Amino acid sequence: MDGGVQQWQEHIAALCADGLARGLRGADGAFGPTRSQGNLTRMDVCHTHNLVKPLDGGPKPYGIRVAIRPTDTFARVLGKDWQQHHWFATREERDRALAEMASEHVYSRIGDKPTLLFEPVEQQA
């Protein structure tokens, strides 16, 4: 890895570890990597929105199954049986997300047809 890139990554990790992540400037207000941070340390996760698993961990029995149409050319890359699930704590939360996900995209061109399939699902207790 390029030494400058590694130094920058270590600098960002140190800012996060010290709670100083305010944009791209360090505690001394300098832009980019500086030596004024002292010992640079690494962190796995700096912000909770970067976590793979949610922190709340409560039951989320209501879901949306997202699948790709077998006729979509992207299915050649993902596979015709590709699917992804999104889980929610309440039916209302799920239904709001489903309406938003399944609606026509704001930037869609006239005549564009969605290639994803959205289906409400529920986990059995």
Beta-bridge partners for 101: none
Name the pTM for this structure: 0.54
Q: Could you tell me the CA-to-CA distances from 110 to 11, 62, 67 in Å, in that order? A: 46, 33, 23
The pLDDT tens digits for 42-89 are 444 555 556 566 666 788 999 999 999 988 888 999 898 999 999 999
Tally Cβ neighbours within 10 Å of residue 5: 10
Q: What is the mean pLDDT of residues 107-115?
A: 80
Residue-level pLDDT at 120: 96
Q: Is 17:7 a contact under the CB 8 Å cutoff? A: no
So where are the chain's domains?
Answer: 3-49, 62-122
